[in-house]
Each structure stands twice: as C-alpha cells, then as structure tokens.
Structure 1
Amino acid sequence: MKEDVAKEAMERAFILMLGIPVMALHDQFGFGRKRIEKFADAVLELYDSFEKGYVSLEDLIQTIFEETGVKIEKK
C-alpha cells in the first residue's frame, strides 16, 4: 500500500513538472499542439534516459550550463 501511494505521488509530481512548462510554452511563447507534443516527447525521452541511469541530474545541469550559459539552481 505504501509503495502504491509513493508511486502515485511521484506520477502526480512528474505530470505537474511537465504541465507547468507546457502551460508556460503555450501561454507565453505561443506553442501549439505540434510543438508542445515535440517538447513533451523530448522531455519523456530524457526522463527515460535518467531513469535508466544513462544520464544524471548533475550531467543535465552541467550540459545546460556549458551549452547555454544558464545555471539551473534553486534560489
């Protein structure tokens, strides 16, 4: 039972963390269905790589910084 609750909470958190960027892309940048679907697919592919251990959170943060100069951190 505890496992089911934890899994459900994780799934809700994942949907929330995908839903917020999708709304921002739509509302602020005019993304429509096609670009949102491409974005969501790319996010899910990266998440799958993370889940399988191919990439770490630190790898993602470092690559974003190296390629864009944007530092991802909680302030």
Structure 2
Amino acid sequence: MAKKKRRVNPRRKPASQADVARAKKQAERNAVIGTIAIPLMAAHDAYGFGPERLSRLLDRMLALYADYEADRFDMDEALDWLRDYTGIDMQEVIL
C-alpha cells in the first residue's frame, strides 16, 4: 500500500529569527515571573505577608539569584541546604 502524502498548508509561514527571539524572550519573561511572583504570592496567601515584608523578601530573593549567577553556589548546594534545613526533598516534589 502506498504511503499517503501529507498535505502542507500553503499559507504556512516559516518562523523567522525574530519570531524565535520573541518566543525565547517571552519564555524567559514567564520563567522569571514564575520564579519570583509565585513565591511572593504564596508568602502573602499562606502567611499574610504585606507589602513591606514582600518587598524585603523580594530583595533577599534577588540577592540570592545574583549570588547564584556569580557562581557562589549551585543548584545542588541549594537543594542540599533545603533538604538538610527543612527536610524537604525537591527530587520528590518535582518528580
């Protein structure tokens, strides 16, 4: 039996480099929002943190992100600290 030919949409436009760059920038933006805004929302919802505490927490989070970017620690060390200090094993949480 002959293979059926796939139909190609004649109006399909290939993605340009600008489209790829725009999608990458949007993905990075969403990742940053997710790693910063969601924990702040959780601190507000679970513990009643107000604007002042959230601002201080954000400052500390940004300082830790800067330390990570400066290679002062890596994610394995962060996971080890979290497990040792709190007993939370992120391997179990994310898998």
Q: Provide the TM-score with structure 2 as the length reference.
A: 0.67
CA RMSD of aligned residues (A): 1.7
Higher RCO (CA < 8 A, seq sep 6+): 1
- Cα displacement (A) at 1:5: 4.5
**Equivalent residues, number:** 75
Counterpart in 2 of 1:64? 82
Counterpart in 1 of 2:32? 14
1:19 and 1:71 mapped to 2: Cα distance?
A: 22
Name stretches of at least 5 consecutive residues in structure 1 with no aligned partner. none
Runs of 4+ in 1 over 3 A off after TM superposition: 1-5
- Cα displacement (A) at 1:3: 5.1
Counterpart in 1 of 2:52? 34
Higher helix share goes to which structure?
1
Name stretches of at least 5 consecutive residues in structure 2 with no aligned partner. 1-17
- Cα displacement (A) at 1:6: 2.7
After superposition, give the CA deviation of every residue in 1:20-51 in whole Å (9 maximum; x if it has no partner): 11111112210001111111111111111111
Q: Provide the TM-score with structure 1 as the length reference.
A: 0.81
User: What is the aligned-residue identity percentage?
Assistant: 28
